[in-house]
Structure 1
Amino acid sequence: MNTEFSFIILTFNEEMHLPRLLQSITELQAPVFVLDSGSTDRTVELAESYGAIVQQHAFENHPKQWHHALKTFAITTPWVICLDADQMVTPELKQKLMSFRSSEVSGYDGIYFNRKFIFKDRWVKHGGYFPFYLLKMFKYGVGYSDLQENMDHRFVVPGKTLIWKDGHIIEENYKENDISFWIAKHNRYSDLLAQEEVERMKNLRTQSVQPKFNGSPDERTAWLKRLWWQTPRYIRPFLYFTHRFIFKFGFLDGRTGRMFHFMQGFWFRMVVDIKIGELLNKENNNAGSKK
């Protein structure tokens, strides 16, 4: 059994994805922990067939679900790797993990993995989507889930991090090949994101990661988010899509990629802005009615 790291995976009706992920990490012989949120398909059965330890917890949002997983499972390894069920480890990344020794990275708290994102069977290479680094591996008990986020889930570590540029995780959600599923999913996400931004306007949420343009991938993301919040609503979706599509060469991703950049980079962002306006109007109307 691998004594260097364990895997934690979140699931909900992932029978089409989970075997692919578990097969990609089986050779690593690491403990696997699955936090399920009430699957009605064969997800739990499949997880247990691979020897995973499974627990159930009602889902509220991704950051809180990860927080629960990190606080609940009896992890005994010094490091953990947190993966989504629609991700998988490439052979190149698996080789890096097979040679991983915690004693050799004692001065670091976390490791970023490079992600390849697949949409409708196409690798999205442009528009800022590759390379794309995610903090997925960190010291257990040191890294934590960022509860200041309502939709985006990210992990935070206080110390130094490494970036593994070679070796990747593949992220491909087969369910999103049905555009109706994609739209419904992002409609739910837009509710969470709109509510989060309204709360940030009231200073009810702060940034857990220090914004820094030339910092780590997450510090740079925090810097860009702060800039986003300062940009006027309804205008920023146009600016973001133009930057992503033209200046980040999203137009080179073919018809499917161009569709993705438009839907995720413009449509989704505009829906969020519209919902923010609706929430603010509702609060103003409620405040006026109490006078």
Structure 2
Amino acid sequence: MPLSACIIAFNEAGRIGDCLASLSFCDEIVVVDSGSTDATAALCEAAGARVLQRPFDGFRSQKQFAVEQARHDWVLCLDADERVGPELRESILAARAGGFSGAAGYRFPRLSDYFGRFLRHGNAYPDRVLRLFDRRRGGWRGEREIHEAASVDGPVHDLRGDLIHYPYRSLEQQLAKTQRYARMMAEHEFARGKRATWTRLVLAPAWRFWRGYVLRAGFLDGWHGLVYAYVRANYVRQKAIMLWLLQNGQAVADPPRE
């Protein structure tokens, strides 16, 4: 059963190589680049990937475009900061050897590195994601461009092994990324009629921290788990504040420069 790997990328020259190497078992690799100014595209082409250029208009749209450009119907979707771990690779190969029988898609846990330690507790893990699927029965659907997720019509099976994730280069990069995602989610929710309340402003961040750090044992990840829980709780706080501002007619981003 032929398998296509689909990746979206932008200025990922420092990380894309390991991602591509982990996909060597796939029959083709498609990379959709959104105008990188570093060596991302050249590195991908040198590794044998087919590189397509497309202006970025949203994570979901970009990933769905990549899936549509694949030569094969079964696709494996990764971000440039992700790698297929050895055990997951063997699980995928076993499923492919069986013709992906009885499934429209497969999901597996994602294991994230957080400043030198893999988080195995709290809200960070197992973080199961659906990334291997038959595009004839699903894809990156819906209207939400942020926190996008693939879905399929049919059975979804679980695979053993982790998708290894290296999401942040620095705390500064994480905070900037978190704030951008919070704004995008607030704008998405506001456009669809959702509104913030006093309860959401005050209690939602506290609940996110309590659920991840205490109830899901994020404390077992040491100081890494503590910092991660605080930053994720702050994301919930930022999103609620921005939604509150939007519903009160206030801007949450600088206006475009002339």
**TM-score, normalization by structure 2:** 0.90
- Counterpart of 1:79 in structure 2 is 74
- Counterpart of 1:182 in structure 2 is 174
In 1, are the aligned partners of 2:83 and 2:163 still within 8 Å (CA)? Answer: yes
Which of residues 152, 166, 171 is equivalent to 1:172? Answer: 166
Which ranges of structure 2 fall in alignment gaps of 5 or more residues? 251-258
Q: Within the alignment, does 1:88 sit opposite 2:83 as a pair?
A: yes
Separation of aligned partners in 1, 2:176 and 2:158? 34
CA 1:149–1:29: 2 relative to 1, 3 Å:
closer
Counterpart of 2:187 in structure 1: which amino acid? Answer: Q
Following TM superposition, by how much is the alpha carbon of 1:237 offset from its aligned partner in structure 2, in angstroms?
1.1
In 2, are the aligned partners of 1:151 and 1:189 still within 8 Å (CA)? Answer: yes
CA 1:234–1:146: 2 relative to 1, 3 Å:
farther
Following TM superposition, by how much is the alpha carbon of 1:239 offset from its aligned partner in structure 2, in angstroms?
1.3
Identity across the alignment (%): 29
- Counterpart of 1:273 in structure 2 is 240
2:162 counterpart SS class: strand
1:187 counterpart SS class: helix
Counterpart of 2:238 in structure 1: which amino acid? Answer: V
- Counterpart of 1:126 in structure 2 is 121
- Counterpart of 2:203 in structure 1 is 235
Alignment RMSD: 2.0
In 2, are the aligned partners of 1:234 and 1:273 still within 8 Å (CA)? Answer: no
Separation of aligned partners in 1, 2:127 and 2:175? 23
Separation of aligned partners in 1, 2:194 and 2:85? 43
Following TM superposition, by how much is the alpha carbon of 1:93 offset from its aligned partner in structure 2, in angstroms?
1.5
Separation of aligned partners in 1, 2:26 and 2:188? 39
1:100 counterpart SS class: helix
Following TM superposition, by how much is the alpha carbon of 1:102 offset from its aligned partner in structure 2, in angstroms?
6.8
CA 1:232–1:85: 2 relative to 1, 3 Å:
same
Following TM superposition, by how much is the alpha carbon of 1:254 offset from its aligned partner in structure 2, in angstroms?
0.9
Which ranges of structure 1 fall in alignment gaps of 5 or more residues? 204-227, 284-291
Following TM superposition, by how much is the alpha carbon of 1:44 offset from its aligned partner in structure 2, in angstroms?
0.2
In 2, are the aligned partners of 1:64 and 1:147 still within 8 Å (CA)? Answer: no
**1:55-80 alpha-carbon deviations (Å, 9 max, x no partner):** 11111221111122223x1x332310
Moved over 6 A (4+): none
Which of residues 10, 13, 16 is equivalent to 1:15? Answer: 13
Q: Within the alignment, does 1:41 sit opposite 2:26 as a pair?
A: no
